[in-house]
Amino acid sequence: MFTIFRLWLLEKYAKKYDIPIMQKDGIQFLTNFIKDNNIKNILEIGTAIGYSAIKMALVDNNINIVSIERDEDRYNKAVKNVKKFKLNDRIRLIKDDAFNVELNDKFDLIFIDAAKAQSIKFFNKFEKNLNKNKYIITDNLKFHGLVESDEILSKNLRQLVKKIKDYIQFLKENNNYETTFYNIGDGISVSKKR
Ligand code: SAH
Ligand code: MG
């Protein structure tokens, strides 16, 4: 009961301060996926305030997570939140730009949810940390519907949308992985390493 209330407080906080945490159906999909595929070790790129990391860790007591966040305020908030849920022994938070982080650990799931224009780079940097037959999941492939819209966009947004489309193409053409795209939440891909 306390847990549900605390999660609700996190969702409220994120809404109030415009922190782009995973949408309800997206996080539901992700946590079900973790349960159904017996995922135990997770690397997350983009912690924000710790919401998705906490949700993932709550799926099962044997789940361990490493999560990276470059923004100091969000990282600090995440540290506090993880402690509130008493998950600090299972969620390791790293305050750095993911591009500066070198990990030797191997994971069953890499969850990419950081700067949307950089997904190809995150994928290429961290795939060496993925166990065989395991998964890379990416969030926000629809980018609030902008990826498929005819709306006239600013130059910055156009560039961002192009990068997301490039990433989708990259996944489709990557024969080392089998990728499925889901029209859930803000658009999610699941890439299984062959
Ligand atoms: N996964 C979170 C939401 C993450 S929002 C949830 O659903 O609860 C995306 C976060 O990625 C932002 O807080 C942003 O600061 C962080 N980020 C973006 N680029 C990054 C990078 N290169 N390294 C580390 N963090 C990054
Ligand atoms: Mg997201």
Ligand 1 center to residue 114 CA distance, Å?
4
Q: Looking at residue 146, what is its pLDDT?
A: 81
Residue-level pLDDT at 71: 98
CA distance 132 to 141: 24
Among 167, 160, 69, residue whose Cα is nearest residue 124: 167
Q: What is the pLDDT of residue 151?
A: 81
Q: How far is the CA of 143 from the centre of ligand 2 (A)?
A: 9
What is residue 144's predicted lDDT score, i.e. its pLDDT? Answer: 82
Domain of residue 165: give its range. Answer: 2-193
Task: Round the CA-based radius of gyration of the chain to a whole number and report it.
Answer: 16
pTM for this prediction:
0.97
Total structural domains within the chain: 1
83 sits in which H/E element: helix 72-84
Q: Is 119 in the pocket of ligand 1 (CB under 6 A)?
A: no
Q: What pLDDT, on a 0 to 100 scale, did the predictor assign at position 152?
A: 80
pLDDT at residue 138, rounded to an integer: 98
- Alpha-carbon 169 to chain mean position: 19
- For residue 98 and ligand 1, the question of a CB distance below 6 A is answered with yes
Going from the first residue of the chain to its last (194 residues), give the mean pLDDT of each consecutive group of 10, the final group possibly shorter: 92 97 96 98 98 98 98 98 98 98 98 96 98 97 84 87 96 98 96 96
User: Which structure tokens are listed for 34?
Assistant: 């973790």
What does each C-alpha distance from 66 to 16, 24, 49, 145, 171 come to in angstroms?
A: 26, 22, 14, 29, 24
CB 41 within 8 A of CB 105: yes
Contact residues for 173 (Cβ-Cβ < 8 A; gap 6+) = none
Closest alpha carbon to 171 in 147, 141, 130, 128: 141
Residue 108 belongs to a domain with what CATH number? 3.40.50.150
The two tokens of residue 10 are 């996190």
pLDDT of residue 121: 98
Question: What per-residue confidence (pLDDT) applies to 1?
Answer: 62
Q: What are the structure tokens assigned to 148, written together?
A: 């498929």
- Beta partners for 126? none
Of the listed ligands, the closest to the CA of 116 is 1
Query: Measured from the CB, is residue 73 less than 6 Å from ligand 1?
Result: no
